[in-house]
Amino acid sequence: MNSQQDLGVFGLSEQELREALEEELVRAIRAEGEAPTIHAIAHSVARILELDHLRMVEQLRKAGIRLDPDGGS
């Protein structure tokens, strides 16, 4: 089985995901009055997924792959 190093990283690395999620959770929980609400957790996860997808789009763009913004319709 290939390791992550053999394949390279697509999107954010595991370490980047963990660090970014921790930072987002702290920020969101503080905004919610120091309460670890479902809203704060959901916001943090959604933000990290967005960052991961943006990284993937940039990596694809650098590889010469352009995504159709209309989804191919």
pLDDT (tens digit, 9 = 90+) per residue, 23-48? 999 999 999 899 889 999 999 999 99
Least confidently predicted of 6-10, 18-22, 32-36: 6-10
Closest CA to 56 of 4, 12, 6, 21: 12
Task: Answer yes or no: are the C-beta atoms of 41 and 27 closer than 8 Å.
Answer: no
Distance CA 47, CA 14 (A): 15
User: Has residue 14 got a pLDDT over 90?
Assistant: yes
pTM: 0.75
Q: What pLDDT is attached to residue 59?
A: 95
